Amino acid sequence: MSQQSENLAILFADISGSTMLYETLGNGLARGMVVRCLAMMSSRLAAHRGTLIKTIGDEIMCTLPSAEAALRAACDMQDAVESGKPGGDTPMYIRIGFNYGEVLREANDVHGDAVNVAARITEVARARQILATQAAVDALPPELRHRARHIRRASIKGRQAQLDLFQIGWRDDSDDRVRVGIPAHRKPEGRQEQLVLRHRDRQITVSERNMTASLGRSEACAIVIRDDFAADRHATVEYQLGKFFVSDRSTSGTYVHFSGGDTLHIVGEDTMLRGSGAILLGRPFSEDPAGIIEFSVHLAPTLA
C-alpha cells in the first residue's frame, strides 16, 4: 500500500457530554441529536477544502490544507452548533483541537505524530473551546495570529517534551464566556484539580506538581498491589492539562469503576478519570479482591 508524506492541518471535533445524553435521554433520542451535530460539523468542511477522514463515535477527524483553513473551519463548526441547536431545547457543545505538521497519507487515512498530538489536545479541551498547538499558530498568516492566546505550557501523554497550547477566539465580539469556555467548566481562581489515590494505608496525590503515579506489584511503584493478577508495572495515573487519565500497560487489563455505575475494562489503552470511583489491576470487581485502589478528583488550594 503506497504512502505519501505531506504537511496538513489535522482537526478533531468532539461532542462534549454525549455519554450523559444517552444516560438521561435514552439511546434513540440521544443518537438522533449526536447524528445531527456530527452532520453540522462535517458540513462546514467543504467551504475550507477540508476532508472528513473518519467519524469515531461522537467525534470527527478531518484534514485541511492549511492552519488558516483549520482555524476558520473550527470557528464555523462552533458557530454552526451554537446557532443550529442540533439538540433542540437540550444544549449541545463541542470541543475542537487542531495541529499542523507532516503526516503520512495511506489510502483514506492519515497517520503520524502530528495526528496523535491533535487528538491529545482535543481530549483536554473544554466545551465550546478550540485549542491549537504552537506549530499550528506559527503556520497561521500574521493577520490571524491575534486570535490565538497562549494559555499554558503543558505535558501531553506519550511525549517527553512539553507543548505550548493556544486557545482560539472563535467570536469577534468581546464575549469572554465564549472565548474561554462555559463558566461551569472553569475552575475558581487560585485553585486546581487534584486526584487522590488510596489503597489500604497508602495515599498519594496526582496533580500539576506530581504528574504521574505508577501502579503495580513492583516495589518501585507509587502504589504497590500485592496480587498475582497485577503486573510489575501494571498501570499509570497521569495529569494532563488539568485532567487525569489511567493508562493500562498490562496484558490482563485494568478495571475502572465510576461512582454512579459505569465500569470499564481497558487493555493497552487509557481512559479519563472523573469524579470518584475505584481501580483494579488484572481482575474484575465481581471477584471482590483486596487490591482495590480508590480515587477521587476534587479542587484543592494551589500551593504557593
Q: Which CATH number goes with the domain that contains 146?
A: 3.30.70.1230
- Contact status, residue 31 vs residue 39, Cβ threshold 8 Å: no
Which of 18-27, 46-55, 206-215 has the weakest average pLDDT? 18-27
Same domain for 175 and 200: no
- Contact status, residue 97 vs residue 132, Cβ threshold 8 Å: yes
Q: Which residue has the cell 438521561?
A: 24
Same domain for 196 and 93: no
- Does residue 36 have a pLDDT over 70? yes
Mean pLDDT of the chain: 86
Same domain for 154 and 106: yes
Same domain for 279 and 211: yes
Same domain for 228 and 116: no
Residue, of 111 and 239, whose pLDDT is higher: 111
Same domain for 55 and 112: yes
Same domain for 270 and 177: no
| DSSP 8-state code for residue 254 | E
Residue 91's pLDDT is 86
* Domain hosting residue 251, numbered range: 191-301
- Does residue 187 have a pLDDT over 50? no
Same domain for 181 and 77: yes
Considering 1-10, 146-155, 165-174, 248-257, the range whose residues carry the highest mean pLDDT is: 248-257
Same domain for 214 and 110: no
Residue 157's pLDDT is 63
Same domain for 146 and 40: yes
HSE of 199, CA atoms in CB hemisphere, 13 A: 23
Quick one: average pLDDT of 228-233? 92
Buried (b) or exposed (e) across 237-269, using 16+ Cβ within 10 A? bbbbbebbbbbbbbeebbbbbbeeeeeeebeee
**pTM for the predicted model, two decimal places:** 0.62
- Does residue 145 have a pLDDT over 50? yes
Other Cβ atoms less than 10 A from the Cβ of 291: the count is: 23
Same domain for 200 and 175: no
286 burial type by CB count under 10 A (0-12 exposed, 13-18 middle, 19+ buried): exposed
- Does residue 172 have a pLDDT over 60? no
d(CA 110, CA 206): 34
Give the DSSP letter string of 112-162.
SHHHHHHHHHHHTPPTT-EEEEHHHHHTS-GGGGGGEEEEEEE--TT-SS-
Sign for the pseudo-dihedral over CA of 171, 176, 182, 187: positive
- Does residue 296 have a pLDDT over 70? yes
Going by pLDDT thresholds of 50, 70 and 90, the confidence category of residue 262 is confident
- Output the domain CATH number for residue 198: 2.60.200.20
Residue, of 165 and 12, whose pLDDT is higher: 12
Q: Which residue has the cell 487509557?
A: 270
d(CA 178, CA 129): 8
Last residue of a domain, one of 185, 219, 247: 185
- Contact status, residue 256 vs residue 235, Cβ threshold 8 Å: no
Quick one: average pLDDT of 282-293? 87
Residue 42's pLDDT is 96
- Does residue 265 have a pLDDT over 60? yes
Same domain for 38 and 92: yes
Residue 274's pLDDT is 87
- Does residue 196 have a pLDDT over 50? yes
Last residue of a domain, one of 150, 185, 220: 185
- The helix/strand count (H/E) of the chain reads as 6, 19
Beta strands in 35-92 (DSSP E): 51-56, 59-64
Residue 84's pLDDT is 93
Q: Please tell me the total count of domains within the chain.
A: 2
- Does residue 173 have a pLDDT over 70? no
Last residue of a domain, one of 121, 151, 185: 185
Quick one: average pLDDT of 6-15? 95
- Does residue 155 have a pLDDT over 70? no
